[in-house]
Amino acid sequence: MLYSGCPEDDELSWKPHHLSCCSFTFFKLVCKYLNHIMGLLDRLSGLLGLKKKEVHVLCLGLDNSGKTTIINKLKPSNAQSQDIVPTIGFSIEKFKSSSLSFTVFDMSGQGRYRNLWEHYYKEGQAIIFVIDSSDRLRMVVAKEELDTMLNHPDIKHRRIPILFFANKMDLRDAVTSVKVSQLLCLENIKDKPWHICASDAIKGEGLQEGVDWLQDQIQAVKT
Protein backbone atom coordinates (compact mmCIF):
# COMPACT_ATOMS: atom_id res chain seq x y z
CA MET A 1 0.00 0.00 0.00
CA LEU A 2 1.41 3.40 -0.96
CA TYR A 3 1.42 6.44 1.28
CA SER A 4 2.05 10.03 0.33
CA GLY A 5 4.03 11.79 3.02
CA CYS A 6 5.32 10.40 6.27
CA PRO A 7 3.31 8.34 8.80
CA GLU A 8 3.24 11.29 11.13
CA ASP A 9 1.48 13.36 8.47
CA ASP A 10 -1.00 10.58 7.88
CA GLU A 11 -1.70 10.30 11.60
CA LEU A 12 -2.24 14.03 11.86
CA SER A 13 -4.59 13.99 8.90
CA TRP A 14 -6.63 11.23 10.57
CA LYS A 15 -7.11 12.92 13.93
CA PRO A 16 -9.19 15.91 12.77
CA HIS A 17 -11.43 13.55 10.79
CA HIS A 18 -11.86 11.35 13.85
CA LEU A 19 -12.66 14.36 16.01
CA SER A 20 -15.18 15.72 13.49
CA CYS A 21 -17.05 12.39 13.50
CA CYS A 22 -17.17 12.43 17.28
CA SER A 23 -18.37 16.02 17.27
CA PHE A 24 -21.13 15.22 14.79
CA THR A 25 -22.28 12.24 16.89
CA PHE A 26 -22.24 14.38 20.01
CA PHE A 27 -24.22 17.09 18.20
CA LYS A 28 -26.89 14.58 17.19
CA LEU A 29 -27.17 13.33 20.77
CA VAL A 30 -27.55 16.88 22.07
CA CYS A 31 -30.28 17.65 19.51
CA LYS A 32 -32.11 14.45 20.41
CA TYR A 33 -31.89 15.31 24.11
CA LEU A 34 -33.12 18.87 23.54
CA ASN A 35 -36.04 17.64 21.43
CA HIS A 36 -36.97 15.26 24.23
CA ILE A 37 -36.82 18.07 26.79
CA MET A 38 -38.91 20.38 24.59
CA GLY A 39 -41.49 17.64 24.17
CA LEU A 40 -41.72 17.17 27.93
CA LEU A 41 -42.04 20.93 28.47
CA ASP A 42 -44.74 21.12 25.81
CA ARG A 43 -46.73 18.35 27.47
CA LEU A 44 -46.20 19.87 30.91
CA SER A 45 -47.39 23.30 29.76
CA GLY A 46 -50.52 21.66 28.36
CA LEU A 47 -51.21 19.87 31.64
CA LEU A 48 -50.69 23.06 33.63
CA GLY A 49 -52.90 25.05 31.29
CA LEU A 50 -50.04 27.27 30.18
CA LYS A 51 -50.36 26.34 26.52
CA LYS A 52 -53.44 27.65 24.74
CA LYS A 53 -55.60 25.03 23.06
CA GLU A 54 -56.11 25.58 19.36
CA VAL A 55 -59.64 25.62 17.97
CA HIS A 56 -61.04 26.12 14.48
CA VAL A 57 -63.92 28.56 14.15
CA LEU A 58 -66.03 29.41 11.11
CA CYS A 59 -67.11 33.02 10.74
CA LEU A 60 -70.26 33.15 8.60
CA GLY A 61 -72.87 35.70 7.56
CA LEU A 62 -73.96 37.76 4.60
CA ASP A 63 -71.61 40.15 2.85
CA ASN A 64 -71.23 43.58 4.46
CA SER A 65 -72.34 42.26 7.86
CA GLY A 66 -68.98 43.10 9.46
CA LYS A 67 -67.38 39.66 9.80
CA THR A 68 -63.88 40.72 8.80
CA THR A 69 -64.06 43.87 10.92
CA ILE A 70 -65.01 41.80 13.98
CA ILE A 71 -62.19 39.30 13.50
CA ASN A 72 -59.74 42.12 12.86
CA LYS A 73 -60.81 43.87 16.08
CA LEU A 74 -60.25 40.69 18.08
CA LYS A 75 -56.61 40.52 17.05
CA PRO A 76 -53.87 42.34 19.02
CA SER A 77 -53.74 46.04 18.18
CA ASN A 78 -50.33 45.71 16.54
CA ALA A 79 -51.67 42.98 14.22
CA GLN A 80 -54.86 44.74 13.14
CA SER A 81 -55.29 45.88 9.55
CA GLN A 82 -56.05 49.53 8.94
CA ASP A 83 -57.92 48.92 5.70
CA ILE A 84 -60.73 46.35 5.64
CA VAL A 85 -61.71 45.04 2.22
CA PRO A 86 -64.46 42.56 1.28
CA THR A 87 -63.36 38.95 1.63
CA ILE A 88 -63.02 37.04 -1.63
CA GLY A 89 -63.61 33.33 -1.08
CA PHE A 90 -62.22 33.08 2.44
CA SER A 91 -59.30 34.13 4.58
CA ILE A 92 -57.67 32.59 7.64
CA GLU A 93 -57.06 34.77 10.67
CA LYS A 94 -55.83 34.10 14.20
CA PHE A 95 -56.49 35.62 17.58
CA LYS A 96 -56.23 34.49 21.19
CA SER A 97 -58.43 34.61 24.25
CA SER A 98 -57.33 34.00 27.83
CA SER A 99 -57.02 30.23 27.33
CA LEU A 100 -57.66 29.43 23.66
CA SER A 101 -55.93 30.10 20.37
CA PHE A 102 -58.50 30.66 17.62
CA THR A 103 -57.92 29.91 13.96
CA VAL A 104 -60.81 31.61 12.18
CA PHE A 105 -62.00 30.81 8.67
CA ASP A 106 -63.50 34.13 7.62
CA MET A 107 -65.87 33.03 4.86
CA SER A 108 -67.08 35.45 2.22
CA GLY A 109 -70.78 36.25 2.47
CA GLN A 110 -71.23 37.17 -1.16
CA GLY A 111 -73.85 35.04 -2.89
CA ARG A 112 -71.45 33.41 -5.33
CA TYR A 113 -69.14 32.26 -2.52
CA ARG A 114 -71.63 30.97 0.06
CA ASN A 115 -71.51 27.49 -1.43
CA LEU A 116 -67.94 27.30 -0.07
CA TRP A 117 -69.19 27.34 3.52
CA GLU A 118 -70.23 23.71 3.62
CA HIS A 119 -66.76 22.49 2.64
CA TYR A 120 -65.42 23.70 6.00
CA TYR A 121 -68.23 22.57 8.32
CA LYS A 122 -66.41 19.40 9.37
CA GLU A 123 -63.36 21.40 10.46
CA GLY A 124 -65.31 23.88 12.55
CA GLN A 125 -65.44 23.43 16.32
CA ALA A 126 -67.58 26.54 16.74
CA ILE A 127 -69.41 29.06 14.57
CA ILE A 128 -69.59 32.83 14.67
CA PHE A 129 -72.59 34.05 12.68
CA VAL A 130 -72.69 37.80 12.03
CA ILE A 131 -75.85 39.72 11.16
CA ASP A 132 -76.15 43.31 9.99
CA SER A 133 -78.84 44.44 12.42
CA SER A 134 -79.54 47.54 10.33
CA ASP A 135 -80.28 45.62 7.11
CA ARG A 136 -83.89 44.56 7.64
CA LEU A 137 -84.47 43.79 3.97
CA ARG A 138 -81.85 41.04 3.93
CA MET A 139 -82.70 39.59 7.33
CA VAL A 140 -84.81 37.00 5.50
CA VAL A 141 -81.80 35.99 3.40
CA ALA A 142 -79.69 35.68 6.55
CA LYS A 143 -82.32 33.39 8.05
CA GLU A 144 -82.39 31.23 4.91
CA GLU A 145 -78.62 30.81 5.00
CA LEU A 146 -78.71 30.04 8.72
CA ASP A 147 -81.43 27.40 8.25
CA THR A 148 -79.51 25.83 5.37
CA MET A 149 -76.41 25.60 7.53
CA LEU A 150 -78.27 24.13 10.52
CA ASN A 151 -79.77 21.41 8.33
CA HIS A 152 -76.49 20.42 6.70
CA PRO A 153 -75.41 16.84 7.62
CA ASP A 154 -72.04 18.07 8.93
CA ILE A 155 -73.76 20.48 11.34
CA LYS A 156 -77.21 19.06 12.05
CA HIS A 157 -76.20 16.26 14.41
CA ARG A 158 -73.37 18.06 16.18
CA ARG A 159 -73.65 20.00 19.40
CA ILE A 160 -71.55 22.83 18.04
CA PRO A 161 -71.73 26.22 19.81
CA ILE A 162 -72.96 29.16 17.73
CA LEU A 163 -72.22 32.76 18.65
CA PHE A 164 -74.40 35.37 16.95
CA PHE A 165 -73.28 38.97 16.66
CA ALA A 166 -76.13 41.41 15.99
CA ASN A 167 -73.67 43.85 14.50
CA LYS A 168 -73.77 47.55 13.55
CA MET A 169 -75.78 48.51 16.61
CA ASP A 170 -74.38 52.01 16.26
CA LEU A 171 -76.49 52.67 13.15
CA ARG A 172 -79.82 54.45 13.49
CA ASP A 173 -81.80 51.78 11.62
CA ALA A 174 -80.43 48.91 13.72
CA VAL A 175 -82.90 46.66 15.52
CA THR A 176 -82.17 45.21 18.94
CA SER A 177 -80.48 41.86 19.45
CA VAL A 178 -83.79 40.57 20.85
CA LYS A 179 -85.52 41.54 17.61
CA VAL A 180 -82.77 39.92 15.53
CA SER A 181 -83.21 36.75 17.58
CA GLN A 182 -86.93 36.79 16.85
CA LEU A 183 -86.49 37.44 13.13
CA LEU A 184 -84.04 34.54 12.85
CA CYS A 185 -86.22 32.30 15.06
CA LEU A 186 -83.23 31.42 17.21
CA GLU A 187 -85.52 30.03 19.90
CA ASN A 188 -86.04 27.04 17.59
CA ILE A 189 -82.41 25.97 18.02
CA LYS A 190 -82.81 23.35 20.74
CA ASP A 191 -79.89 20.99 20.19
CA LYS A 192 -76.99 23.45 20.14
CA PRO A 193 -75.78 26.06 22.61
CA TRP A 194 -76.15 29.55 21.17
CA HIS A 195 -75.80 33.11 22.33
CA ILE A 196 -76.45 36.48 20.70
CA CYS A 197 -74.56 39.69 21.44
CA ALA A 198 -75.29 43.21 20.30
CA SER A 199 -72.06 44.52 18.81
CA ASP A 200 -70.36 47.48 17.24
CA ALA A 201 -67.36 46.00 15.44
CA ILE A 202 -65.70 49.35 14.74
CA LYS A 203 -65.58 50.29 18.42
CA GLY A 204 -65.21 46.70 19.58
CA GLU A 205 -68.30 46.86 21.78
CA GLY A 206 -69.89 43.52 22.63
CA LEU A 207 -67.09 41.44 21.12
CA GLN A 208 -65.35 40.37 24.32
CA GLU A 209 -68.62 39.25 25.87
CA GLY A 210 -69.22 36.99 22.89
CA VAL A 211 -65.70 35.54 22.86
CA ASP A 212 -65.86 34.82 26.60
CA TRP A 213 -69.10 32.88 26.10
CA LEU A 214 -67.67 30.99 23.12
CA GLN A 215 -64.53 30.09 25.05
CA ASP A 216 -66.58 28.66 27.92
CA GLN A 217 -68.69 26.58 25.53
CA ILE A 218 -65.70 25.18 23.65
CA GLN A 219 -63.91 24.24 26.85
CA ALA A 220 -67.07 22.57 28.16
CA VAL A 221 -67.24 20.43 25.02
CA LYS A 222 -63.52 19.55 25.23
CA THR A 223 -63.82 18.45 28.83
* 107 and 42 in a common domain: no
CA distance 19 to 37: 27
What is the rounded (10 degree) CA torsion for 170, 172, 173, 177? 40
CA distance 198 to 187: 17
* 124 and 158 in a common domain: yes
Does 83 count as an annotated binding residue? no
Read off the pTM.
0.76
Residue 190 structural domain: 53-222
Does 109 count as an annotated binding residue? yes
Q: What is the pLDDT of residues 26-46, one digit of tens each?
A: 655 665 665 666 555 545 545
Average pLDDT, stretch 123-145?
97
20 has pLDDT over 70: no
* 102 and 13 in a common domain: no
* 121 and 107 in a common domain: yes
pLDDT at res. 168: 97
Q: In terms of pLDDT, which residue wins out, 88 or 39?
A: 88
pLDDT at res. 223: 44
CB 133 within 8 A of CB 201: no
The enclosing domain of 64 has a CATH number of 3.40.50.300
Q: Tell me which of 110, 125, 182, 219 is the catalytic residue.
A: 110
The number of domains in the chain is 2
| Catalytic residue flag (residue 215) | no
pLDDT at res. 199: 98
CA distance 203 to 170: 9
Does 122 count as an annotated binding residue? no
* 79 and 145 in a common domain: yes
